[in-house]
Chain A
Amino acid sequence: MCGIAGILFTESQSVPLRGELEKMAELLTHRGPDEFGYFSDQSIGLAHARLSIIDLKGGQQPIHNSDQSAWVIFNGEIYNYIELREQLIKKGYEFYTKSDTEVIIKLYDEYGEDFVSHLNGQFAIAIWDKTKRKLILARDRIGIAPLFFTKSDDKLIFASEIKSILSVLDSKPDLNREALDQLFTFWSPAAPNTMFEDIYQVKPGEMLVVENGSIEIKKYWEWQPATPGDYISGSDQELADELHDILVDATKIRLRADVPVGAYLSGGLDSSVLVSVIKNFTDTQLETFSLEFEDKGLDESQYQNELITHLGVHHNKIRVGYDQIADNFESVIWHTELPILRSAPIPMSLLSGLVRSKNYKVVLTGEGSDEVLGGYDIFKETKIRQFWAKNTASEMRPVLLKRLYPYLDISPGKSHTYLRKFFGQGIDNPELNYFSHIPRWDTTEKIKGFYSGDMKAQLRENAIEKYSDSLPEFINTLDPFNKAQYIESKTLMSGYLLCSQGDRVLMKNSVEGRYPFLDHRLIEFANKLHPKLKMKALNEKYLLKKAMGKYVPDSIVNRYKQPYRAPDIPSFTGGAQRDFVEELLSTEKISSYNYFDAKKVELLKRKIKHGKAIGYKDNMAFMGILSTQCLHKLFLEQSF
């Protein structure tokens, strides 16, 4: 990956100041520590911070087409660049580098704006077409690479991270309170919002085209599951074979690099499958990496060790304790540019630090498999709740929910009345498009009980209603399971997992993450599958297990899914207590920033001090409040 930034004067032909471009690029050094590159012309300035992965010597950006009438900067990887390059050469194009970047600008010459649909990869691209005086900003289909922009009367400014944009604004924006309210529902602002007023993200699968001072947004791809009746046909085995072949190819092309490539190995099914594929289908020397928690309840070492032995990989581990989580909190928020509702991003940032310390710049990771192939508990819950909704009076139907939580001893499986009450929220409305997410969003929204009076007064809209209204028409035609997958991929995955737990904390240590399960061919294939191939009864990722189970030990295939969790409140209290926490949560600071009610926060602090804050709600509230305060301090109080 890399960092990109730029300034476009939309009403004049002024040349952006080199000093400003350098300032923007410098704030992206963590994304691109290897070299900087610039291009300026009338109206436009482009800046690039490079993490050199393909064509180390020759691939410096910005890169131009043959007559220098078009220039590109990009952050990401185009995995099918070799095939695309061959096709272009056959059409008569000549190349002056061996990079994937140059393929992009030549594709633009050949196909115009349609270039983007030919790309298989993760990317944030900026193309300046000098002849047409047109700027194109394009983001990959899933939102793996970040891309932000802001528009004032005479300028459009864009960058890979918001801090870069903030550094060249005349005045600091306010925190976007609607976006905060959305984050306290969906775990992220609803795209195109960011946490800052007037700063937006280019949505996954979309392009911004800026020409003659006007902006047009164009969608080039949608995550669109098939409707009942249109599912792909074939026997389970045939479809498993097809899945197998797509996944193997998606993994192989993601090993293309001029630097060594590693892999995350959590001990779960997805990373195990990927590592097995790499071992069985390539000659790649493999280093794997994982986390170990001091908190034994969250540790997955046993499974990791089993797989390491089975596959014979060289494995590296980092042990994470409460102190390290507290010590790295503020620097992680500097990178996420978002509040977080759990501490999980912090250990992930330590993991990418481990990767970097072993001189690796690239890792493959299993993110996306759950959303694409039906892995999460929320999908199981949805199935059970849909079943239960057909007979809401049933005593027995909701008891199925007890099967979902064997790994957490604080889940009250003992009394199924309570499980019924909690998961029964919305049970009378199974037709609601977001039925699947009601319990989770309801729990998350409890943080809003801590809002200050002013915060409550300033919020105009109901976040869930607004989101529901924004859902595309086709969602009404989908099977409930596919609806849940759609919503999950758009909200939690794109908005939180791939950013705060993904790109941002990888890039903090200049490491690029690659996601075979998010190859768009795999997504498009999986979207055509009947839901029962993703979840057979309550057996999650059925087809994946059928396709790839032969490469991993049975114990990995059969183990209960353990979602990745890191300790929250315990990381900041007791021995791990920190001054910055005291300061950010002080009555003075809470009142001054005015998002939360100081009295309520004091009572939460008291509950925590007495060691009583053990539930999800309290942990989420603590993390959400602390990280929002931190965000305000880092981005809105200091100048940079």
Chain B
Amino acid sequence: MSEEQKIRKYILENFLFTEDENELNNSDSFLENGIIDSTGILEVISFLEESFNIKVDDDDMVPENLDSVDNILAYLKSKQ
């Protein structure tokens, strides 16, 4: 599974509780669309750290890095 597929599957199943790919666009803002709330973002960070073997620094916990599938993919790339 590609990084993109892994992330999409995680968000779809754990926040939208669906397997329907049509329910999520890679550019959708999690915050604007109410997909993830203030505690949900911690779950995403845990997921990223466990799944991709990275450490998310405090300063990185910003929407620019985490608020959509596209943003996360770009962030992961920057960590490589």
A interface residues (Cβ-Cβ under 8 A, vs B): 410-412, 414-415, 417-419, 421-422, 442-443, 446, 449-450, 599-601, 603-604, 606-607, 612, 614-617
Q: Is the CB of B43 within 8 A of A615?
A: yes
Q: Is the CB of B17 within 8 A of A449?
A: yes
Q: Mark B31-51, 1 if CB is under 8 A from A, else 0.
A: 100100111111100110000
* Closest A-B pairs by Cβ, 10 of them: A615-B39, A415-B61, A600-B17, A422-B38, A603-B17, A421-B31, A414-B58, A603-B13, A607-B14, A417-B62
- Number of A-B residue pairs with CB-CB distance less than 8 Å in the complex they form: 69
B31, B38, B42: most-surrounded residue (chain A CB, <10 A): B38
> Which of B13, B38, B43 contacts A614, CB < 8 Å?
B43
**Could you say which residues of chain A place their CB within 8 Å of the CB of B38?**
411-412, 418-419, 421-422
User: Who on chain B is nearest to A616 by CB?
Assistant: B39
Q: Is the CB of A607 within 8 A of B42?
A: no
- Chain B nearest CB from A611 CB (Å) reads 10
Classify the interface of chain A: helix, strand, loop or mixed.
helix
Q: Is the CB of A412 within 8 A of B18?
A: no
Q: How far is the CA of A615 from the CA of B38 in the complex (A)?
A: 9
Q: Is the CB of A614 within 8 A of B39?
A: yes
> Which of B13, B58, B61 contacts A607, CB < 8 Å?
B13
Q: How far is the CA of A418 from the CA of B61 in the complex (A)?
A: 9
Q: Is the CB of B61 within 8 A of A414?
A: yes
**Could you say which residues of chain B place their CB within 8 Å of the CB of A417?**
61-63
- Chain B nearest CB from A627 CB (Å) reads 18
**Could you say which residues of chain A place their CB within 8 Å of the CB of B42?**
410, 412, 614-615
**Could you say which residues of chain B place their CB within 8 Å of the CB of A449?**
16-17
Q: How far is the CA of A483 from the CA of B49 in the complex (A)?
A: 43
Ordered by A's residue number, 6 sampled pairs between the chains whose C-beta atoms are within 8 Å are A410-B42, A415-B41, A443-B37, A606-B13, A612-B43, A612-B47
Q: How far is the CA of A85 from the CA of B11 in the complex (A)?
A: 66
**Could you say which residues of chain A place their CB within 8 Å of the CB of B13?**
603, 606-607
User: Who on chain B is nearest to A621 by CB?
Assistant: B17
User: Who on chain A is nearest to B14 by CB?
Assistant: A607
- Chain B nearest CB from A483 CB (Å) reads 24
> Which of B37, B46, B58 contacts A422, CB < 8 Å?
B37
Q: Is the CB of A617 within 8 A of B37?
A: yes
Q: How far is the CA of A415 from the CA of B40 in the complex (A)?
A: 13
User: Who on chain A is nearest to B63 by CB?
Assistant: A417
Q: Is the CB of B37 within 8 A of A446?
A: yes
Q: How far is the CA of A604 from the CA of B18 in the complex (A)?
A: 10
- Chain A nearest CB from B35 CB (Å) reads 9
**Could you say which residues of chain B place their CB within 8 Å of the CB of A599?**
17-19
> Which of A414, A421, A606, A614 contacts B63, CB < 8 Å?
A421
A418, A603, A615, A617: most-surrounded residue (chain B CB, <10 A): A418
Q: A418-B38, A599-B17 are in contact. List 10 more A-B contacts (CB 8 A).
A: A410-B39, A418-B31, A418-B41, A422-B38, A446-B34, A446-B37, A449-B16, A599-B18, A614-B39, A615-B43
User: Who on chain A is nearest to B12 by CB?
Assistant: A603
Q: How far is the CA of A173 from the CA of B31 in the complex (A)?
A: 40
A417, A450, A616: most-surrounded residue (chain B CB, <10 A): A417
Q: Is the CB of A450 within 8 A of B17?
A: yes
- Chain A nearest CB from B8 CB (Å) reads 14
Q: How far is the CA of A606 from the CA of B13 in the complex (A)?
A: 9
- Chain A nearest CB from B38 CB (Å) reads 4
Q: Is the CB of B62 within 8 A of A600?
A: no
Q: How far is the CA of A443 from the CA of B35 in the complex (A)?
A: 11
Q: How far is the CA of A460 from the CA of B47 in the complex (A)?
A: 38
User: Who on chain A is nearest to B18 by CB?
Assistant: A600
- Chain B nearest CB from A438 CB (Å) reads 12
